[in-house]
Structure formats: C-alpha cells, structure tokens
Homo-oligomer: A and B are copies of this chain.
Amino acid sequence: MRQNELEALRSQVTELNDKILDLINERTAVVQEIGKVKEKQGVNRYDPIREREMLNSLKEKNNGPLPNGVLEQIFKGIFMSALEIQEDEQRNALLV
C-alpha cells in the first residue's frame, strides 16, 4: 500500500520534472531571441537590474512551499545558464 503511494508520488515528480524542463527550454529559446535583438542594438546582454527585478517579482508572487532563499538560488542558476549559453554562441560565432 505504502509502496504504491510512493510510486504514485514519484510519477508525479517525474511528470513535474518533464514539465519544468520543457519550460526552461522554452525560456532559453526566448532568451536567445532577446540576445539576438540586443546584439543588433549593440546593447550589453547581461542586465543585472532586470535580473534583480525578475527575482523580486518572483519572490513577491511566491506562495511556497519553496522558501524565497531557495527560490533565489534556483532562479539565479537558471538566469546564469541562459547567459552562459548566449556567451558560448557568441564565442562560437567569433570562431566561425
């Protein structure tokens, strides 16, 4: 009985993992678009003020159970990775 309960909960986690991955990929694609627009404008891609605004907005909307400190850690990771991908592309573009 307990084992089935555990299995059901784990299936839920797997499903949520997949949905989170889909959304992070979608987000990465949009950030890549933003990078292209900024490049054409000759604007610096890294925007710490916008990053801080996004974090504040997320913390305001957060209803838990995720604590805001952990929220900040996770999203900083997501923001940074989007930036790293952009930089890699830029570096690759320079090598071509």
| A interface residues with partner B (beta carbon < 8 Å) | 2, 5-6, 9-10, 12-14, 16-21, 23-34, 37-38, 40-41, 50, 54, 57-58, 61-67, 70-71, 73-75, 77-78, 81, 84-85
Further 16 A-B residue pairs, CB within 8 A, beyond A9-B30, A17-B75: A2-B41, A9-B37, A13-B27, A13-B34, A16-B27, A17-B27, A19-B23, A20-B24, A21-B71, A24-B71, A25-B63, A25-B64, A29-B65, A65-B85, A70-B81, A70-B84
Which residues on B sit within 8 Å (CB–CB) of A33? 9
Per assembly, the copies of the chain total: 2
B77 touches A74 (CB 8 A): yes
